[in-house]
Amino acid sequence: MRVIIEEDYGAMSRRAAAIVAAMIRDKPALVLGLATGGTPIGLYSELIHRNREEGLAFSRVTTFNLDEYYGLPPQHEQSYGHFMRKHLFDHINVPEGNIHLPDGTVVDVDAFCRQYERMIDEAGGVDLQVLGIGADGHIGFNEPGSSLASRTRLVALGTRTIKDNARFFQSNDQAVPRAAITMGVGTILEARTCLLLASGTNKAGVVAQAIEGPITSQVTASALQLHPHTIAILDQRAASLLRRKDEYVRSETLLRELRAGGPG
Ligand code: PGA
């Protein structure tokens, strides 16, 4: 895994945006996997800025979101459909028909999940998947114990996740959904590149487990160690408990020099 450590949240977000933008410029019909939560909001603001100020075009980009609460319609203020419109889609030129999120209102969930996987396949697979990491180590809503081969499916949220997400809901945590539809770990691992973002001291422990700990279904982000092209972009705080932190920094510097100047 390539580990990039940036000074703070702003620098992490700009670095991530630079990678997303370069990939869109390289392949204008990029299939972009997207995440919700507090972490990618800075990345999305940067992308909006680049769309407006630098002409970064989303007109041929297709998006697939990782997950959606089960039971919330897309108009619901706390649905991820709403979140994505508010923080990204309403502000860039991505065509409505190119946007995909799991539908939290479907009755035949299993059929829907199979269809979601089919739509990803038909789009040619995800080129770049943006990921946050939950305090319990989840990617998407793949809570501890999720099979590392899991596919898109209905899942029960862990108590830690329900607690963490309660901050987004006005009332008490009774209103927080208990279930979600999420891409599986196996689905995520099929993306050609994964971009894992983490910021803040509260993520430091779980980031260290995911990057340097054993690969385990108890920390589903650790499955990214099996992925050939994962880039983790962390701020200093989220990186603070990495044992090999200095090595990652050294390696990034050396590789940058070698790419710029060749082996001599
Ligand atoms: P956060 O959530 O970005 O709000 O910390 C991350 C996640 O749960 O994946």
Ligand 1 and 37: CB distance under 6 A: yes
- Which tens digit of pLDDT belongs to each residue from 58-90? 999 999 999 999 999 988 999 999 999 999 999
In whole angstroms, give the CA distance from residue 219 to residue 41: 23
Residue 116 has pLDDT above 80, yes or no: yes
* Residue 174 in this model has a pLDDT that exceeds 60: no
What is the whole-number distance in angstroms between the Cα of residue 254 and the centre of ligand 1?
Answer: 31
Ranges of H-type helices in 27-182: 41-53, 80-87, 109-122, 159-165
**132 touches ligand 1 (CB under 6 Å):** yes
Three-class SS of residue 67? strand
- Give residue 78 CA to ligand 1 midpoint distance, Å: 14
Report the catalytic residues. 67, 136, 138, 143
Using an 8 Å Cβ cutoff, are 242 and 211 in contact? yes
**Confidence (pTM):** 0.96
Q: Which atom of ligand 1 is nearest to the CA of 131?
A: 9
Q: 209 near 219, Cβ under 8 Å?
A: yes
Model pLDDT, residue 168:
80
The mean per-residue pLDDT over the stretch 43-51 comes to 98
Task: Judge if the beta carbon of residue 146 lies within 6 A of ligand 1.
Answer: no
pLDDT value, residue 264: 66
170 three-state secondary structure: coil
- Ligand 1: does its nearest atom lie under 6 Å from the Cβ of 42? no
Ligand 1 closest atom vs CA 161 = 8
Lowest mean pLDDT among 229-233, 237-241, 243-247, 259-263: 259-263
pLDDT at 173 over 80: no
pLDDT > 80? residue 171: no
pLDDT at 23 over 90: yes
Burial of 90 (C-beta count, 10 Å sphere; 0-12/13-18/19+): exposed
Ligand 1 test: best mutation among 36, 176, 194, most atoms within 8 Å of CB?
Answer: 36
Residues 126/139, Cβ–Cβ less than 8 Å: no
Residue 233 contacts residue 15 (beta carbons within 8 Å): yes
Strands (E), 7-159: 31-34, 62-65, 67-69, 99-100, 128-131, 153-156
Predicted pLDDT at 83: 96
Counting every residue written for the chain, the total comes to 264
User: Using a 6 Å cutoff on CB, does residue 140 contact ligand 1?
Assistant: no
In angstroms, how far apart are the furthest CA atoms of the chain? Answer: 62
CA distance 234 to 12: 6
